[in-house]
Structure 1
Amino acid sequence: MDTSPTALFDSYEQDFNQIIQSVRGRVDGDAQGEQAEQRKAALRRVEMELDEADEMVSQMEIEIQGIPQSIRPSYAGRIKTAKAELQRYKKLSKDLHAQYSRADLLGSAARPGMGDALSDDPYGTSTDRTRLLAGTAILEDGTRRLQDSQRIALETEEQGTDILRSLRVQREQIQNARDTLQRADTSIDRATGTLKKMIRRMYQQRVVTGAIIAVLIILILIILWAKLWR
């Protein structure tokens, strides 16, 4: 497992690029199809993927805080590029929505017999049923997106709780280490004082020993003098 400080950032960036590649394929493919339902389904999927890409960018912004300052500017530039790419496809999706909405509106106005009040069908014409089904699909899609957003929010909250818990543990460890260092410093001061006392006593003992030796030598000389000259 890669434990480098840029591993998660690179992973989120890779996911972002894969999502953008999928969006590009849908915009150039299904979103340009001739069938209106196919286009709407493709654009709904594009919106969901753009939301996922937005979440990846947010995660990249979080992870860049843990990257060393020496290499952080290059990663900040990559985030800026990702944001620009995301905004470009968001604008393109919005423009396609507006374009197809106008086309559907003009197409509906051009169809004869729309909204015939004398129809026996309780849901109206087939076009009305299609719109009802499309509205239901949009509501279901919106519900799924809300559930996904709620899930992401809960996951983010759990990650934040874990981070705070880790920070609290690290703070306690730092506090304990500081207390240990203070106790060690106190012990070193005491040991230093004890060594100084021992050194002073050693010098005192040397002086006393030297004095005793000198006295003994003097006594020996006196005794020798007394015996030799008397």
Structure 2
Amino acid sequence: MSGSEIFETYQKEYLTLQESISDKVKNLIPQAKPDQRKLLFNQATRELEEADEIISQMEVELQSLPPNIRNPLTPRLKSYKNDVKTLKKDLQKTNSAASDREQLLGAGGSHVIDFEVTSMDQRSRLLQGTERLQDGSRRLEEARRIAIETENVGISTLETLNRQREQILRTRDTLSSADTWITKSQGILKTMQRRLVTNKFMTAGIIAILVVIIAVIIYLKWG
């Protein structure tokens, strides 16, 4: 799951909480009986705390996004913060107004608790908690997958480097052997060159001797 998708998931959770809080502030709390109003007020307070926590998580995710995605979302997050501040003020005002009205009218507590509202609120909180756990599990699984891929790439790179090292060593050995043979060949060529020069001198000497012998023979024969 990408960072923008995680941000959208948090945004959906926040909007659900915002709708629930607004309904309590505008509709349920003003019409509730004293005990029910207290229960709804506590529920709305907890939901506002959850909204603050989700906004903090959205801020963290926002910082990890690239600028081209982060910049358009920043004003939206700022608007959510302002909405939460407004809801907190409205909740206090609504609760205080309802309490003052009850005192003026002399309304007493009914001691009747709306268990259906409590059950729905708890179920909603449980579902939201489950979704966050699932989201966290998906993120951990994604991180684990990336870590495994990175490890595999590292192993493959090490194997490639090892093969290249072996090739370099073999090439070095081949070059060393070739250098040895070149040195030997140079020695042989120098020896052959010296012998060739020696043979030339010997041949020239033999020819000179033969010329001298022939000249002596001719001299003795016709002299």
Q: When the two structures are superposed, what TM-score results if normalisation uses the length of structure 1?
A: 0.59
Query: What amino acid is aligned across from residue 193 of structure 2 in structure 1?
Result: R
Structural mapping, 1:18-167, within 5 Å? 35-36=22-23, 51=57, 54-55=60-61, 57-58=63-64, 78=67, 82=70, 90=77, 92-111=79-98, 112=102, 116-117=110-111, 119=112, 124-125=113-114, 129-130=116-117, 132-167=119-154
Q: What does residue 225 of structure 1 align with?
A: 212
Identical positions, percent: 13
Higher relative contact order (CA 8 A, sep 6+): 2
For residues 159 and 220 of structure 1, what CA distance do their matches in structure 2 show?
90
Query: CA distance change for structure 1 residues 140 and 88 in 2, over 3 Å: closer, same or farther?
Result: same
Q: Which residue of 1 aligns with 2:160?
A: 173
Aligned mates of 1:139, 1:115 — CA distance in 2: 30
Residue 229 (structure 1) shift: 2.1
1:136-164 Cα shifts (integer Å, max 9, x gaps): 32331122012101111111111012102
Whether 1:212 aligns to 2:206 is no
CA 148–89 in structure 1, closer or farther in 2 if over 3 Å, else same = same
Structure 1 residue 46 displacement after superposition: 10
Matched residue of 1:150: which SS?
helix
Q: Distance in 1 between matches of 2:120 and 2:79?
A: 26
Structure 2 gap segments, 5+ residues each: 27-43, 218-223
Point out the structure with max Rg over C-alpha. Answer: 2
Higher normalized helix content (fraction of residues): 2
RMSD of equivalent CA atoms: 4.4
Take 1:50 and 1:153, find their aligned partners in 2: how far apart are those partners? 19
Q: Residue 173 of structure 2 corresponds to which residue in structure 1?
A: 186
Distance 1:52 1:161 in 2: 27
Q: How many residues align?
A: 184
Q: After the TM superposition, which parts of structure 1 deviate over 3 Å for at least 4 consecutive aligned residues?
A: 30-35, 37-41, 44-60, 84-95, 108-115, 128-132
The letter for the 1-side match of 2:162 is Q
* Structure 1 unmatched runs, 5+: 1-11, 61-77
Letter in 1 for 2:145: E
Instruction: Provide the C-alpha distance between the structure 2 equivalents of 1:114 and 1:211, rounded to a whole number of angstroms.
Output: 137
Check 1:142–1:209 CA distance in 2 against 1; reply closer, same or farther (3 A cut). same
Counterpart Cα distance in 1 of 2:120 and 2:108:
17
**Cα offsets for 1:170-218 (capped at 9, x unmatched):** 0221122122212211221221121011011011112112211321221
